[in-house]
Each structure stands twice: as structure tokens, then as C-alpha cells.
Amino acid sequence: MRLVLLGPPGAGKGTQAERLAARRGVAALSTGEMLRAAVSEGSSLGKRAKAVIERGELVSDDVMIAIVAERIRQPDCVDGFILDGFPRTVAQARALDAMLQENGVRLDCVVEISVDEDFLIGRIETRAKETGGARADDNVETLKKRMAVYRQQTAPVSDYYRHNKMLITVDGVGSKDEVTAAIETAIGAVARV
Ligand code: AMP
């Protein structure tokens, strides 16, 4: 199964990606986690990405596309993957299509987890408290910037997949189990997975 999870910051993409991937025995790929790992390692990528992440902006398409192209070539992605946090721009979406086409595969579907912005601010505040501020970008100021970036650069990705008839939208307000169930129902209806 090859799936993309879309949704604004705090929508629950990471949690749901992990759950769906574990159930299907495929890899959950979070580009945010990959970047945070690079930042903690202090690699040259991490050094370049740190300030961008802390400002709530996006790391460049070239860098992100190269990271994902390399990652999905790994053996644990042969049977599929759940992408969380990529693509975040239409250029990334087009690049992903090209990568998959080169390998003779395609996405099964794209699930957008839809959550109202006011609700998200409360959720991110809770996450910041629960994780003791482990994420430098989990604060209201950066969150507002991330949401603006989402509206400007990532919302067009939903339109891109809607146009390609791949997009399913699921209500992301509810318990983790309710959202997982809603995603499972939605993908069960469209994909043979
Ligand atoms: P996330 O954990 O998905 O919320 O990502 C955290 C931060 O990492 C984002 O706010 C961006 O700065 C950066 N990032 C993650 N994925 C991407 C991507 N596909 N393109 C550009 N920047 C990204």
C-alpha cells in the first residue's frame, strides 16, 4: 500500500501514519521526523534545516525530494509506505509521481485529515505540554506561521490530488481510534489494500 496523509499541523498525521503502517506492515515515513533526526545528529542537512523548521517555514523542494527519493528506495519500502508530511508543495507532489512512475508503481490514495484551525491551536498547545516542549516549533507563534504556510503552499497539494481523483477527506476531530476507523473505512472503499 502506498498512501499519502495530508493535513494541517497537529491534525494527527504522525499518529495515524504510525497506526496504519503498523497494521499493514509497511514503513511510516515522516519527513518532519527525518529532519528532526538530522538536527539532533548535527549533520550538514540538520544544520541547514534547523533555523527553517524553527521559523515554521519549509525546507527547499530540492532537498526534500532528494531525501524522499533516497528513502523510498530502501528495502523496507518495497511493499509500500505511508507518507506523513510529504508532499507539502505541488512541486513535491509532481516529483513523487515521477519517482513512483519510474518504479512502475503508483499511490493507492491520498487521505486528507481535515481539522479546523482553532481546534488545532488547542491541540498543539496540549502536545507542547505533553512532550515538555520537545519540538522547538510547537508554540503558538510558530504554529500560526506553519498554518499560513500550509494554507499557501500545501492546500494546493490537496487540489492537485483532488484533480487527479485520488483525494479522500476524513474528519480529523474525534478520538485517535475514531479517526483511524474513519481513515480505514475511507481507504477500504477506494483502494484494494
Ligand atoms: P512536521 O513534523 O511534518 O510537522 O514537519 C516539521 C517541519 O519540518 C515543517 O514545519 C517544515 O519546516 C519541515 N518539513 C517537513 N516536511 C517537509 C517537506 N515535505 N517540505 C518542506 N519542509 C518540510
80 lines ligand 1 (CB under 6 A): no
Q: Is residue 163 part of a domain?
A: yes
- Which atom of ligand 1 approaches the CA of 85 most closely? 3
- Dist. CA 61 → ligand 1 center (Å): 11
Pocket test for ligand 1, best of 15, 58, 149 (most atoms within 8 A of CB): 58
The residue with greater pLDDT, 125 or 82, is 82
Structural domain for 25, as ranges: 2-188
Q: For 59-101, write each residue's pLDDT tens digit.
A: 999 999 999 999 999 999 999 999 999 999 999 999 999 999 9
Closest CA to 109 of 25, 7, 10, 193: 193
Q: Is residue 193 part of a domain?
A: no
Active site residues: 13, 88, 127, 135, 146
Q: Is residue 20 part of a domain?
A: yes
Which residue's alpha carbon is at the smallest distance from atom 15 of ligand 1?
Answer: 32
Residue 177 identity (one-letter amino acid):
D
96 lines ligand 1 (CB under 6 A): no
CATH code of the domain in which 141 resides = 3.40.50.300
When divided into structural domains, the chain yields a total of: 1
- Dist. CA 33 → ligand 1 center (Å): 8
Q: For 175-192, write each residue's pLDDT tens digit.
A: 999 999 999 999 988 765
Give the pLDDT confidence score for residue 192 in this predicted structure. Answer: 56
Q: Is residue 184 part of a domain?
A: yes
Cβ-contact 87, 4 below 8 angstroms: yes
85 lines ligand 1 (CB under 6 A): yes
Specify the 3-state DSSP secondary structure of 166. coil
Assess whether pLDDT exceeds 90 at residue 139.
no
Q: In degrees to the nearest 10, what's the CA dihedral of 1, 67, 112, 168?
A: -40
What is the CB neighbour count within 10 angstroms for residue 67?
19
